[in-house]
Amino acid sequence: MHTGTALALTLLVLLYAVISGLVSRWYLAPGLVFVLMGMMLGPFGFDVIAADDTRTFNILAQLALTVILFNQAASLDLAAAVRRGHATFRLLIVGIPLALLLGTLTAVVLLPVLPLWEAVCLAAVMAPTEVALIDALLEDQRIPERVRHALSVESGCYDGFALAAALAALALASEHADRDVTHWSWYLVHTELVAVALGAVIGLVGGVVVVASWRRGWMNGTWAQLATVAMALVCFGVAERVHSSGFVAAFVGGLGFAAVARHAQTSVPTQVSDAAGQVLELVVFAIFGGYAVFLGWREIDWRTVLFCVAALVLVRPVAVQLALIGTDVPMRSRLFIGWFGPRGIGTLVLGLLVLGHGGIQNAAVITEAVVITVTLSLLLHSLTAWPGITFVAPDRLVRTSRQ
């Protein structure tokens, strides 16, 4: 990365930090702010940020998703999620696969130029949600606690599910290129299962070491938090070293670390780790805004735009409604959960992963879809956050009056 670009991005982070409280109060996604600033400072604006450095963009995006995946998994308690709410369980087990299936069918119908495996890849790329992009959705007490918990747990698991679907689709692509079933099936097993094993070992062993050191007072809070960042990067690096999926390893590593911490009944602070993931993500959004947004929207096709709108407005809401049939979740809450599925770093990185695989016949279509979906999501979900919270608030009032 050029020195001037690094300085500009650092100053951008500093300036945002000064107004971050106001941005949260206005219910804006920080990612939207950085995309807009990137557009202004990038090669198509004042040319302060050299946003066309694809290698730097790929590295930063991978680092950001690695840390975020680990943090998301480390904060999850899937057993408690199952015990606490039937609705959350249904969103994970029924809603996510339904969203992937409906996304694939939508891509097949609206983008017939895509082969089936590319349609599956595109659906997987479009699927991950990142509700933490808009802090108000997790912090506003007017939103029923059950809804906030469901959104948080679902968002934390989406990247893992979507990544598995994308890797399966890439294995299917290999099947078309290589008819030897042992070759492409081994690709899938090696990419996912080896990553799961590596992530589990690193997460469990690292968790035991960190928790033991923390409980004995051998490390302070700052270094305990930095240790979780290092553990996430170790999971990614080791898995990539053996040509497996570093993202799968990071997610499973976070689950292993969380399991050890819960078993030991010890809470290791994670504020630094969370902040590191957020800063990396926002820098990625700035570079994305400086270059990719202009290129993605410059020569768009109406079919691609229609698919992206359908992915945001129809696919997820329909999947959520179907998944929650028979539950006691009020309709307002169902509509709220269905609508608020912001797309962010997961969609960007999965798009890069799919495009970097090689053999993609319609790379331009997938690139345009990623750019259009992320920018539309940041804009629409930011603008509708406050009305959405106002809409779902009566569900909380009704339950409170009954208690």
76 domain-assigned: yes
Asked if residue 10 has pLDDT above 80, the reply is yes
Of the candidates 236, 336, 240, 221, the residue with the CA atom closest to the CA atom of residue 277: 236
* Per-residue pLDDT, 372: 95
| CATH number of residue 288's parent domain | 1.20.1530.20
Averaged pLDDT for residues 19-31: 87
401 domain-assigned: no
**For residue 157, what pLDDT band results from cuts at 50, 70 and 90?**
confident
399 domain-assigned: no
Global confidence as pTM? 0.87
Averaged pLDDT for residues 342-363: 86
Give the rounded percent of residues in the chain with a pLDDT score beyond 90: 44
Domain count, the chain: 1
Average pLDDT, the chain: 86
102 domain-assigned: yes
| Cβ-contact 351, 370 below 8 angstroms | yes
Stronger pLDDT, 370 or 263, i.e. the higher one? 370
**For residue 185, what pLDDT band results from cuts at 50, 70 and 90?**
low
Host domain of residue 164: 3-392
170 domain-assigned: yes
Q: What is the dihedral of CA 183, 361, 104, 335, to 10 degrees?
A: 130
Asked if residue 382 has pLDDT above 50, the reply is yes
Amino acid at 67: V
Asked if residue 114 has pLDDT above 90, the reply is yes
Stretch among 89-93, 157-161, 253-257, 368-372 having the lowest mean pLDDT:
157-161
Asked if residue 179 has pLDDT above 70, the reply is no
397 domain-assigned: no
Burial class (CB in 10 A: 0-12, 13-18, 19+), 58: middle
* Per-residue pLDDT, 129: 92
Asked if residue 28 has pLDDT above 90, the reply is no
Asked if residue 94 has pLDDT above 90, the reply is yes
**For residue 52, what pLDDT band results from cuts at 50, 70 and 90?**
low
Averaged pLDDT for residues 121-142: 87
* Per-residue pLDDT, 78: 65
400 domain-assigned: no
Q: Tokens for 356?
A: 């970097």
Asked if residue 401 has pLDDT above 50, the reply is no
* Per-residue pLDDT, 207: 92
13 domain-assigned: yes
Averaged pLDDT for residues 325-346: 92
Asked if residue 400 has pLDDT above 50, the reply is no
Question: Per this entry, what is the length of the chain?
Answer: 403
Measured distance CA(289)–CA(4) in Å, rounded: 17
* Per-residue pLDDT, 398: 47
